Chains A and B, each alone.
Chain A
Amino acid sequence: MEIQEKEQPIDNAAYLNMDLLRFTTAGSVDDGKSTLIGRLLYDTKSIFEDQMEAIEEASTKKGKGYVDLSLLTDGLRAEREQGITIDVAYRYFATPKRKFIIADTPGHIQYTRNMVTGASTANLAIILVDARHGVIEQTCRHSFIASLLQIKHLVVCVNKMDLVSFSEEVFQKIKTDFENFSATLNIPDIQYIPISALLGDNVVEHSANTPWYKGASLLYTLENVHIANDRNHEDARFPVQYVIRPQTEDFHDYRGYAGTVESGIFKPGDDIVALPSGFKSKIKTIDFNGKHLDIVHPPKSVTFTIEDNIDISRGDMIVKENNQPQVSQDVELMVCWLSDKKLTLNGKYAIKHTTREARCVIKEIKYKVNINTLEEIKDNFEIGLNDIARIVIRTTTPLFFDSYSKNRATGSLIIVDEGTNVTVGAGMII
């Protein structure tokens, strides 16, 4: 493989105008995930000469007759030695249209945990299917996790098409099988692409080997999928992160509420309510770096000042008077368990929800999900690593939340073990 020279000088104006797509990749071991990511990085010229030399050397050492692109994404030394990957790794590449962040979640025992982590920030998920094996249990599992995490766009890549002679029948059968089973999942946009990650067919360019395929290449799909409307622009939510009080001469009485607009839109003059106090006021200014903004969209980090001198602190939430979240201490959620230490019914945990911290007790386990069949298991309430369950918690202070399906930011929380401080659960509020 030749080292590619990047000849195109970069266009700064265009670069500063690019938008961002975060995606995750899922597939079982050997479906070709590493090869596909390596291929995307290679074909978008995101690989440097020294990295290329390192993998050429490593390929030779392993006795491979070709440069193994999958080695590019291979991680920590312990894993290299054991030949496994155990965690989420992040990769980056850009085309003139978009910048991409890949949450690379290699398949293994801890797979559910890893995929949930990677999917939590993703706009899109690529599901890899080996053309020779078709839709298997893992495919269903990965798609279920993607839908659970409310990923709006799924791209099913039927890989290793070169090993099935680029057969249209094989592709169509897999597509139909997937359509049948995914009808029960709540994923609005699913696309299917026949590819060969190893040889590059339909990855960047439409391949001559699949004249029957009329759709776009994978990269084109990634560059053009419409994500602007995936964000919640309706429900204005501003969790207060930090109170800014300069107490300097110039800003003697300045009191600013710093945070990120998680959803909805805010403008100066908006009628707002601060939760939990319920005090009403108006937004006076929206400050950012010495400027006053006239409107702010998610996910921008800004600072609000408000008209009245009311008491607001970290963990409070500023919302609009005419559109308020639910407020409750009893919360029902789907939880993915991330720890070897099992969830204990009636156990007490710490939680983090938006910028708010609280403690909670696990009141009830409603059911556990068989993530391969999506059946509800009601006779075994043991929730361990990688299990997904529906539970009810009661919190020490009220949370201000929306359902996860309406609002990722105000519908998600993490559960923390109070003894070890480790994050043990990921919750999605129903």
Chain B
Amino acid sequence: MVSESKHNLTHLDQLESEAIFIMREVAAQFEKPVLLFSGGKDSICLVKLAQKAFWPAKIPFPLMHIDTGHNFPEAIEYRDWLVKEVGANLIVRYVQDSIDKGTATEEKGPNPSRNTLQTVTLLESIEEFKFDACFGGARRDEEKARAKERFFSHRDEFGQWDPKNQRPELWNLFNGKKQKGENFRVFPISNWTEMDVWQYIYKENIPLPTIYFTHRRDVVFRDNMWLANSPHITLMKGEEIQNKIVRFRTVGDMTCTGAVESTASTLEDIIQEVASARVTERGSRADDRRSEAAMEDRKKQGYF
């Protein structure tokens, strides 16, 4: 038996319990939930929490990955390993399919981002499977527009988010009632900070995709950050490929996720680096820097 006799739970235990509570609430209140799996550390944490929430049963909902086609191969490799490891069902839907169908149009330019197109494929997939609740790994500390986000975020039948029409959330009473065609985005780790996520990964010893750790990589300096060289970016005049020792703070599209120069090779190293970081992790995403209200616009259209 494990002694848990400490009177007060630590903050991380409380956050964990809160997240598990939310996940069970969704499993109970909704008919077809799905966990949106991006391959990043936040959604990896969600998978861990879901395992704990339903142990000894398997996770009672599928994971879904919206594949932009611009993913880091290491992230895909990790995804396939994880799904096997936890025995989850994985659904993959491709942005390329939406482009081929003509429902999404590729951006022009030297590093076309498919982040906005992801929304189209996501909404099409929600429609296809009739999902009524989608778990996301977003946190309120990530960005200003998220600070007021609910745990249960209501979306209308067009998948849109109306900041003026969100339900107040009191105590731990979550109202998931909805009309036909409407759905919810649910964010179990809303109250976690970037540091909480890292500490949890450390405490639970959760394996991560290798790109979070230091490695050598061909990169190009653009928009004030190091972008990975890949078949998806076109070199512009004056740009040159350099080989650097880097790691990534987030896992996103290869075309817009900036690398940081770092020699952090362990979780402890990363935690020290995060603790002394002077730029938010979103600061290393090109698409968020396009405008101050970028995130808010994408949210309204149904992106997470």
Contact A292 B199, beta carbon cutoff 8 Å: no
CA distance A178 to B200 in the complex (A): 43
Contact A49 B1, beta carbon cutoff 8 Å: no
Contact A49 B278, beta carbon cutoff 8 Å: yes
Task: Identify the stretch in B11-19, B73-81, B119-127, B233-241 within 8 Å (CB) of chain A at 4 or more residues.
Answer: B11-19
Contact A101 B283, beta carbon cutoff 8 Å: no
Contact A91 B147, beta carbon cutoff 8 Å: yes
Count of B interface residues, CB-CB < 8 Å: 74
CA distance A7 to B275 in the complex (A): 9
B5 within 8 A of A: yes
A92 within 8 A of B: yes
B299 nearest CB neighbor, chain A only: A76
Contact B27 A50, beta carbon cutoff 8 Å: no
B158 within 8 A of A: no
Q: Which of A8, A76, A86, A113 is in CB contact (< 8 Å) with B296? A: A76
Interface string of A1-24 (1 = CB under 8 A from B): 001011111101001111110000
A413 nearest CB neighbor, chain B only: B173
**Nearest Cβ in chain A — how far from B99, in angstroms?**
29
CA distance A355 to B2 in the complex (A): 28
Task: Identify the stretch in A133-141, A245-253, A320-328, A374-382 within 8 Å (CB) of chain B at 4 or more residues.
Answer: A245-253
Interface string of A283-326 (1 = CB under 8 A from B): 00001111111111101110100000000001000000000000
A44 within 8 A of B: no
Please provide the chain B residues from 118 to 164 with a CB less than 8 Å away from any CB of chain A in the complex.
140-141, 144-145, 147-148, 163-164
A49 nearest CB neighbor, chain B only: B278
Contact A75 B17, beta carbon cutoff 8 Å: no
**Nearest Cβ in chain B — how far from A151, in angstroms?**
13
CA distance A322 to B167 in the complex (A): 38
Given the known interface contacts A300-B9, A314-B28, the answer about A101 and B191 at a Cβ–Cβ threshold of 8 Å is yes
A244 nearest CB neighbor, chain B only: B57
Please provide the chain B residues from 186 to 201 with a CB less than 8 Å away from any CB of chain A in the complex.
190-191, 193, 195-196, 199
Q: Which of B1, B52, B168, B276 is in CB contact (< 8 Å) with A9? A: B276
**Nearest Cβ in chain B — how far from A278, in angstroms?**
23
| A77 cross-chain contacts in B, Cβ below 8 A | 145, 293, 296
Q: Which residues of B contact A (CB under 8 A)?
A: 1-18, 20-21, 24-25, 27-28, 51-58, 140-141, 144-145, 147-148, 163-164, 166-175, 177-179, 190-191, 193, 195-196, 199, 202-203, 268, 271-272, 275-280, 283, 292-293, 296
12 CB-based A-B contacts, threshold 8 Å: A77-B296, A90-B140, A98-B11, A116-B170, A246-B57, A248-B58, A287-B56, A303-B55, A409-B171, A416-B175, A421-B175, A423-B170
The 4 A-B residue pairs with the shortest CB-CB distance, nearest first, are A20-B11, A10-B275, A421-B177, A246-B57
